[in-house]
Amino acid sequence: MMREDRKKKRILIKLDNDAHKSKSIQSPDFSVISLKCQAKHYEWGKKGSSSFVGQILKDQGTTIDEDKPYAELWMGTHKSGSSCICGLSPGLDGHSLSDLFIAFPEFIGDMNIFKKYGHHLPFLFKVLSVGKPLSIQVHPDKTLAGQLFSSRPEHYPDPNHKPELSIALTAFSALAYFRPHDQIIGFAKKYKKFGQLLGSELLNGYENSDKPNRQNWLKKCFASLLTKKPENIIATIKDLVNQANVDTGDETLRLFKQIADHYPDDVGTFACFFLNHIQLKPGQAFFIDVNQPHCYLSGDCIEIMACSDNVIRAGLTPKFKDVELLCETMTYKPKRMEKFLLEPIRNNDFTWLYSPPVDEFAIEKIEIPKGKSSGSQFPLHRLHSASLLIVIECESGSINSTALKKSRVYFLPPGLNYSLSGLRGRFLAFRAFIKQ
């Protein structure tokens, strides 16, 4: 379907789906297309140029407000923030990537990929800069997402599931998946005030339940916590913060206090006793499947997810909470951290593949150390699908005949051969694509 001679062809496009306004354009080069991507200013984002997202915008020439949070950069075709074409030609610049896929369906991928996903990228690619804990959340599976979208579209904006993969760019900290049950009950015994909040009935319930019923116990425990009276929650948080101030060597209490400092009256603070605490170094990754509770705490990361914005929230947020639904939806099976950390597969000397167990996406990391970058060509994998490339570090260099710049995002049409050359300094980029 893809043809290399496309760049020489004169093509009639109907970017606004209106035959009268159709434009006939001559594209200078269709092999690499620069994108302008939207930032989201959620209040949990890092502020100004301390934010990785803010820094990317600054590098692109945008003036940054140092008091404003820069939480997310969206790369893709999601209707709440589709990326736009820039620097290509006056006829195309400013049009969304979605428009481009409608005009040129072959840009999505080969016929199999187009048949499966149509005119939209099935993934949403992001950079996140987390300044304070995000909400405790789960993402629904496809069946539930469909039901929620049709019954409550004001809270659940699309019918899609949202498994997500995160790769740390800086030291990154998060809570994810339930801890082993014995750890949770261990905390309830160790931190008396937390145990008292849960109540003796629940604590005895654990002792009296056999292993197969422990998930049920955990569900009761979590649901009971989320529905406690606010005054009891606030008082217990205060007690535990006081304890943390005295017992400064206790890592879990320190984490509790770190969350409580931002949310001194929010029941979500107790999530650190229930969910695994992950601390990633740059390049390390983890995968969050649907129905699994998680909460990002701090740091910057690359994130990719199925193209959806469906979030069921329970705490640590001023946004809409759906506690009952969250408790019903969640998977209560504990998972140890090593089971959801995602080890990349080394493809060659300079690329690593992050491939989670979903159809919609995978990410390739391209990393070339300073001493090895100059004087060589670095051929990238030929893909059958559209791909988006974000350049994190690059002094200078090019991809095919297009100059590459740090902090820029590029759309690479499928079926073409790409090669990096003329690199100087360390090179680091991430390329998101539809799984082949």
The end-to-end CA distance of the chain, in Å, is 16
Helix (H), strand (E), coil (C) string for the chain: CCCHHHHHCEEEECCCCCHHHCEEEECCCCCCEEEECEEECCCCEEEHHHCHHHHHHHHCCCCCCCCCEECEEEEECCCCCCCEECCCCCCCCCCEHHHHHHHCHHHCECHHHHHHHCCCCCEEEEEEEECCCCCEEECCCHHHHHHHHHHCCCCCCCCCCCCEEEEECCCEEEEEEECCHHHHHHHHHHCHHHHHHHCHHHHHHHHHCCHHHHHHHHHHHHHHHHCCCHHHHHHHHHHHHHHHHHCCCCHHHHHHHHHHHHCCCCHHHHHHHHEEEEEECCCCEEEECCCCCEEEEEEEEEEEEECCCCCEEEECCCCCCCHHHHHHHCCCCCCCHHHHECCCEECCCCEEEECCCCCCCEEEEEEECHHHCCCCCEECCCCCECEEEEEEECCEEEECCEECCCCCEEEECCCCCCEEEEEECCEEEEEEECCC
Neighbours of 41 (CB within 10 A): 15
Whether the Cβ atoms of residue 404 and residue 391 lie closer than 8 Å to each other: yes
Tokens of 376: 């060589």
Give catalytic status of residue 313 as yes or no: yes
Nearest in space to 423 (alpha carbons), one of 403, 412, 431? 403
Query: Beta strands 136-138 and 312-315: pairing type?
Result: antiparallel
> Distance between CA 371 and CA 69 in Å, rounded?
36
Selecting among 313, 336, 346, 382, the annotated active-site residue is: 313
Q: Nearest-CA neighbor of 84 among 92, 100, 96, 101?
A: 96
- Closest to 272 (Cα-Cα) out of 288, 252, 289, 298: 252
Active-site positions?
A: 313
